[in-house]
Amino acid sequence: MTNTAKDQNYLRLISEASKILSSQLELAPSLNKISQFIVLNLADCCAIDLIDENKNIQLTSSASKDPKQVKIVPKSHFFQVSRVLKTGQAKFVPRMIIVPLVTKGETIGALTLINSSRSRQFSRHDLTTAEELAVRIALDVTNARIYHHLEQAIKARDKFISIASHELKTPLTTLKSFSQILLRRFPDKGELVSYLSKMENQLDRLNSLVASLLDVSCIQSGKLELQKEKFDLQNLLLEQIEDLQAISPLHKIVLEKAIAAPVFADKYRLSQVLTNLISNAIKYSPKADKIIVSLTGGRNFITVAIQDFGIGIAQKNFKKIFEPFYQVNNTIRKSFSGLGLGLHICHEIIQRHQGEIWVKSIKGEGSVFSFKLPRAYFKRSMRARVPPFESLARLR
Ligand code: ADP
């Protein structure tokens, strides 16, 4: 082979190897693929040894052209590799190359190439190629290990959230029952009732925070299950508006448009979405006094929109606010409490209904949160029981 041909071959090998290594995040399949590739292009046999967490050398991947003829002999291989790992120096003999895998100055393993027949001997050029491959393999191992640690950390976080929220729920429920007993027993003790009511409010807040944590841990572990039934979303919307209006005297919640909206969905989860969006509209518009809700639809979809005239959201945050624990970071924001989970939970619920949720907003002027769901078709008897105009009149 001419030098130019050798160089071209070298560049091709390195570029293809880089592609193989970057195509996967899991370590074992990635190393197996690269071993196979080396056997196809460079040697009769290839082995990758890594030093594990307990500082032991582990043969992590190996491949041979002809497994009958070429084998890694464990004892002698271990001996040769441990010498390279100790010295950090490559071993080069005509039928064997062992190069250390080094990342950030630390030797984390070795790459071994073997040729079986005397007629096929390694050249200095092959050593350079092996060294270059070793750099890429070492980087791949480091990335895969970081990825693995991240996965473990996320799992540990989710487990903590799940256990903590379950454990918090029990004492909270007990506290809430006792405060209700006290309220019922001493209904005419003015001051006591006032303190107990305040305590009830705080318990409700704690309960809803814990419920959000539980929901998020269900979402993360893919266990958020839907109990779907046929119902009219208009009825549910009217109920939610009525309930929220009762506890939010400073805002008037106006239902501007409404239509019959048959859906096949999880009632509890959709009421959670409506409560979340309307409560946010109220919470983030402390200086306004009106929230406008509308329920419209086409042939296949039903759309709910909730508009407020509050602090608004900058366009760069439109997507991010649906991520878990994301809260818009501005100085005004600091005066609002919350965990940054509500919208993420809404997003997951709507997505699991094959729907879509989005926001349009102008900072300082207000926001419109909308979601759409597939329309269901069912018999007349199941349609909305409350006629829209009667309900509208009742709410205004
Ligand atoms: P939380 O309200 O508990 O912080 P959410 O997930 O409900 O969590 O909302 C995420 C973030 O999106 C909020 O922290 C807030 O910055 C922003 N946000 C949500 N709804 C509105 C709204 N109607 N107007 C302005 N900002 C909003």
CATH number where 80 lies? 3.30.450.40
Would residue 395 count as lying in a domain?
Answer: no
Is the domain of 179 the same as that of 309? no
Is the domain of 18 the same as that of 122? yes
122 ligand 1 Cβ < 6 A? no
Mutate-to-test residue for ligand 1 from 343, 348, 357, 369, highest number of ligand atoms within 8 A of CB:
343
Structurally, how many domains does the chain consist of?
3
**Which protein residue has the closest C-alpha to ligand 1 atom 3?**
338
321 ligand 1 Cβ < 6 A? yes
Ligand 1 atom at shortest distance from the alpha carbon of 310: 24
CATH label of the domain that carries residue 198: 1.10.287.130
Ligand 1 atom at shortest distance from the alpha carbon of 328: 16
Could you list the residue range(s) of the whole structural domain that residue 250 is in? 228-374
Per-residue pLDDT of the chain (396 residues; tens, 9 = 90+): 677 777 777 788 888 888 888 887 788 899 999 999 999 998 999 999 999 888 889 888 889 987 676 666 667 788 889 999 999 999 999 899 999 999 988 999 999 999 887 778 899 989 999 999 999 999 999 999 998 888 888 888 887 888 888 788 888 888 888 888 888 887 677 777 888 888 888 888 888 888 888 888 888 878 888 999 999 999 999 999 999 999 899 999 999 999 999 999 999 999 999 999 999 999 999 999 999 999 999 889 999 999 999 999 999 999 999 998 888 875 444 567 778 899 999 999 999 999 999 999 999 999 999 999 999 987 655 554 544 444 443 433
d(Cα 290, Cα 282) in Å, to the nearest integer?
Answer: 8
Would residue 349 count as lying in a domain?
Answer: yes
Is the domain of 212 the same as that of 240? no
Is the domain of 10 the same as that of 138? yes
CATH label of the domain that carries residue 353: 3.30.565.10
Is the domain of 251 the same as that of 297? yes
43 ligand 1 Cβ < 6 A? no
Is the domain of 293 the same as that of 316? yes
Is the domain of 207 the same as that of 239? no
317 ligand 1 Cβ < 6 A? no
Is the domain of 145 the same as that of 160? no
Would residue 272 count as lying in a domain?
Answer: yes
User: How many angstroms separate the alpha carbon of residue 225 from the centre of ligand 1?
Assistant: 25
Would residue 380 count as lying in a domain?
Answer: no
